[in-house]
């Protein structure tokens, strides 16, 4: 199974999202559709006229870790409106950067807000050292600037690469991980348990709370991965029912495969429900699709290549 192709994000104003991701982060628009959309309307079970404008953006040279932004004509409220850090929902978009201290200073001078006064730096038990800082962005999405010390990435001219992991907060990371491995054939690429004052400060957790993290995807591709986070010592609200079109924010995740029937068969073999969608013209291709839900309630789509 390939990494996820793209995630879908509902936006109130598409030009605001473009200003951040294209103008500042150096992504490029690789496809656009303005006006009603019958193919996407059938897939998402909303009306064609609910679509105002759509773009698919990607850091140049990458084929995964993309974002599908959709401006709706009459949007609902943001999925994460008023959410706590540990509420269960599609949460963060982690974007790799070449020099976090430089990026932090640059955006701070431009008046951007951050969730902490400075970036955090952590070295895990496995010896991995990373820096990150959280940005509360448009439509209540949470963008994380992530620098992994020593990594070599296809950074664009602005010093950014694609979305590495897209983070999903779940009640049970082990159960969710098994689902992604069994149904989507993803590899477990990383697993760790993070706790302590530095983590609490960096993430914004109460004292004594901790994170159980599992990252899945393609071992040979750092982009388009799924990061599952389950919190210990704190209980969050389930916001996954809100993560449906026409809400604003991070809504769903899309994979693309050459053999769509095999995905549907694995779902049925595991006693899981799915819906098969006929081929239709959409922004990112004309093939069929299968939609279903992960154990957490996160909606996933698999499209025919």
Residues across the chain: 305
pLDDT of residue 126: 76
pLDDT of residue 85: 87
Please give the model's pTM, rounded to 2 decimal places.
Answer: 0.93
Each residue's pLDDT expressed in tens, for the chain with a length of 305 residues = 578 999 999 999 999 999 999 999 999 999 999 999 999 999 999 999 999 999 999 999 888 889 999 999 999 999 999 999 899 999 999 999 999 999 999 999 999 999 888 888 888 777 888 999 999 999 999 999 999 998 888 999 999 998 989 999 999 999 999 999 999 999 999 898 888 888 887 777 889 888 999 999 988 888 899 999 999 988 899 999 999 999 999 999 999 998 999 999 999 999 999 999 999 999 988 889 999 999 999 999 999 87
Q: Report DSSP letters for the chain, one per residue.
A: -PPP-EEEEEES-HHHHHIIIIIIT--EEEEEEES--HHHHHHHTS-GGGEEEEEEEE-TT-SSSEEEEEEESS---BTTTT--TTSBSEEEEEEEES-HHHHHHHHHHTT---SSSS-EEEE-TTS-EEEEEEEE-GGG-EEEEEEETT------TTSEEEEEEEEEE-S-HHHHHHHHHHHH--EEEEEEEEESHHHHHHHT--TT-EEEEEEEEETTEEEEEEEEEEEES----B-GGG-STTSBEEEEEEEEES-HHHHHHHHHHTT---EEE----BTTBSS-EEEEE-TTS-EEEEEE-
pLDDT of residue 116: 85
Q: Which string of b and e fits 202-241 if b means at least 16 CB within 10 Å?
A: bbebeeebbbbbbbbbbeebbbbbbbbbbbeeeebeebbe
pLDDT of residue 1: 59
pLDDT of residue 115: 85
Measure the CA–CA gap between 111 and 114, rounded to whole angstroms: 10
């Amino acid at each position: 199974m390939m990494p996820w192709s793209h995630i879908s994000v509902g936006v109130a104003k598409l030009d605001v999202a473009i200003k951040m991701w294209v103008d500042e982060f150096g992504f490029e628009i690789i496809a656009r559709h303005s006006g009603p959309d019958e193919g996407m309307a059938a897939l998402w079970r909303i009306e064609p006229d609910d679509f105002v404008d759509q773009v698919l953006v990607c850091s140049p040279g990458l084929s995964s870790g993309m974002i599908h932004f959709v401006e709706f004509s009459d949007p609902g409220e943001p999925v994460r409106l008023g959410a706590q850090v540990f509420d269960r929902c599609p949460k963060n978009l982690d974007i790799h950067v070449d020099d976090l201290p430089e990026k932090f200073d640059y955006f701070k001078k431009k008046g951007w807000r951050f969730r902490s006064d400075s970036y955090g730096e952590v070295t895990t038990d496995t010896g991995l050292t990373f820096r990150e800082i959280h940005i509360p962005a448009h439509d209540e999405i949470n963008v994380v600037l992530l620098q992994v010390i020593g990594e070599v990435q296809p950074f664009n001219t602005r010093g950014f690469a694609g979305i590495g992991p897209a983070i999903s907060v779940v009640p049970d990371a082990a159960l969710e991980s098994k689902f992604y491995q069994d149904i989507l054939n993803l590899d477990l690429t990383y697993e760790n348990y993070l706790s302590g004052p530095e983590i609490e400060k960096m993430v914004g957790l109460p004292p004594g709370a901790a994170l159980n993290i599992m990252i899945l995807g393609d071992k040979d591709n750092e982009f388009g991965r799924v990061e599952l986070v389950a919190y210990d010592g704190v209980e969050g609200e389930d916001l996954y029912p809100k993560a449906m079109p026409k809400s604003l924010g991070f809504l769903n995740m899309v994979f693309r495969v050459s053999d769509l029937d095999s995905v549907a068969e694995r779902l049925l073999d595991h006693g899981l429900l799915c819906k098969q969608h006929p081929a239709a013209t959409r922004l990112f291709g004309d093939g069929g699709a299968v939609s279903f839900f992960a154990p957490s309630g996160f909606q996933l789509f698999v499209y025919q290549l």
